[in-house]
Amino acid sequence: MFQSHRLLTTRIEKTHSKALQTSIASHTSTASRSTLFKTLFFVGLPATLLLNGCEYYIKKVNLEQLSQNPPFNIPLTTGQHQDGEVFLRIAILGDAEPKPLAEFPNMRGAIEQMNTLHQAEPIDFVIGVGDIAHEGTDIQYEASTVELQKFTVPFYPIMGNEEHNESVEKYLDYAQKWNPVVTSSRYVMEGDSIAFIFASPGYSREFEDEGVLWIRDQLQAMAPKPVFLIVHGAQAGAYPENPEKGVHNPLFVEEVVSQPNLTAMISGDLHMDMERVNHSKQIGSTHYLHIPGVERTKIPDETNHTPMFRLMTITHEGQVLVDTYTVGESEPHERLAYSFEISFTERSEQN
């Protein structure tokens, strides 16, 4: 696929002026994909080149911006729980991207509820799986920032395909308003016995080979400790409710999913109704946890939307308990609970 984009781009570069190439590059870093598409169409590029050329330049600029904002590591701190059994407690916020209006009532409610839960029993941090701002527009970013800045718990987000309608640079400008620590679209949170990889897609919901290999390298470097991978979308086919939607790069399965210490993959993207789908499951040695969209539901249809978020508790004994809350309800749904076990023992023996 990438080679075909290079060929298409070569054709663009041979048949159009230097000024056009400069215009494409500038639009990619400052405007939306739709704006770039209109620019290409206006200058008369063949229709077969429009989306492919646009996608190539978006990926090119995103990789350049990633190199300017390199991945970083955050030390995982624990020990704030009075309950002697609890090791970590992590809340997870799903896709928002409301439309047609940039209004976030359910995300606001989820944030308020997470803050309340945190007061009762500390939450170590909140994970965001991407797609906060629909199409990455200013009005969506600004409205969501008003709500996200109300968190009393550290919020660690990644990008989704919606944020990739605009630049990585723009996303990071806002992400640092939500949490000043977040200076890259990829980072690792690592403790002595467990780790979390936050991996934004390289473009749309996809990963370039370079992004896949970065995830693989982190997994291998931290083996055998269990690792939780946060991505916007899992590999295509992981959720048969929409098997075509997800990461299609075959290296993702070959180099990432195959790693024995990939304990869980946490993703959103699909906006699934938790009551009507298989939202949590084990495939091979990896547990897959879907995080429902908080403002909209798409799968299996759009007829019913119940705003929800998930709360994951990890005990010192290695029990992982994943609860699902409806926004505004004080108790989680027993029927939507999921649990599994991880082993700290093997990692301890290695060190």
Which neighbouring-strand residues pair with 130?
A: none
Q: Are both 57 and 178 inside the same structural domain?
A: no
134 and 27 co-located in one domain: no
User: Is residue 268 within 8 Å of residue 290, measured between CB atoms?
Assistant: yes
- How confident is the model at residue 57, as a pLDDT? 54
pLDDT at 38: 47
> How far apart are the C-alpha atoms of 271 and 240, rounded to whole Å?
13
Q: Which of 35-44, 51-60, 76-85 has the highest mean pLDDT?
A: 76-85
- 80 and 15, same structural domain? no
> Among 12, 41, 68, which residue terminates a domain?
68
Only one residue has tokens 């300017």, namely 68
Shared domain for 41 and 59, answered yes or no, is yes
Give the confidence band of 351 by pLDDT, cuts at 50, 70, 90: very low
Q: How many Cβ atoms are within 10 Å of 121's Cβ, its own excluded?
A: 14
Q: Which of 19, 39, 68 is the last residue of a domain?
A: 68
Helical pair 33-42 and 47-68, crossing angle rounded to 10 deg: 140
Same domain, 131 and 57: no
- Looking at the structure of the chain, the number of domains it has is 2
What's the token pair of residue 259? Answer: 């790693």
Q: Domain of residue 183: give its range.
A: 72-350
**Do 130 and 149 have their domain in common?**
yes
pLDDT digits (tens, 9 = 90+) for 239-274: 999 999 999 999 999 999 999 999 999 999 999 999
Distance CA 213, CA 195 (A): 17
229: β partners: 197, 265
- pLDDT bin (cut points 50, 70, 90) of residue 43 is very low
Shared domain for 49 and 80, answered yes or no, is no
Looking at residue 66, what is its pLDDT? Answer: 59
Domain's final residue, options 47, 68, 89:
68
Q: Examine the pLDDT at 302 and tell me if it is beyond 70.
A: yes
What's the whole-number average pLDDT of the chain?
85
Q: Give the CATH number of the domain where residue 200 resides.
A: 3.60.21.10
23 with 165, same domain: the answer is no
Q: Torsion angle of alpha carbons 159, 163, 169, 171, nearest 10°?
A: -70
Give the orientation angle of helix 138-148 with respect to helix 168-178, to 10 degrees: 20
Whether residues 42 and 167 share a domain: the answer is no
**Per-residue pLDDT at 72:** 86
Does residue 190 share a domain with residue 339?
Answer: yes
Own/partner contacts of 2-11, CB < 8 Å, gap of 24 or more, are: 2/208, 2/209, 4/52, 5/52, 5/53, 5/55, 5/56, 5/59, 6/56, 8/49, 8/52, 8/53, 8/56, 9/53, 9/56, 9/57, 11/49
State how far the Cα of 322 lies from the Cα of 339, in Å rounded to an integer: 6
What confidence tens digit (pLDDT) does each residue in 309-346 have? 999 999 999 999 999 999 999 999 999 999 999 998 54
246 and 308 belong to one structural domain: yes
Whether the per-residue pLDDT at 60 is higher than 90: the answer is no
Average pLDDT over residues 112-121: 97
**Cα pseudo-dihedral 224, 125, 139, 22, rounded to 10:** -30
- Residue 128, pLDDT score: 98
**Residue 14 banded pLDDT, cuts 50, 70, 90:** very low
263 shares a domain with 138: yes
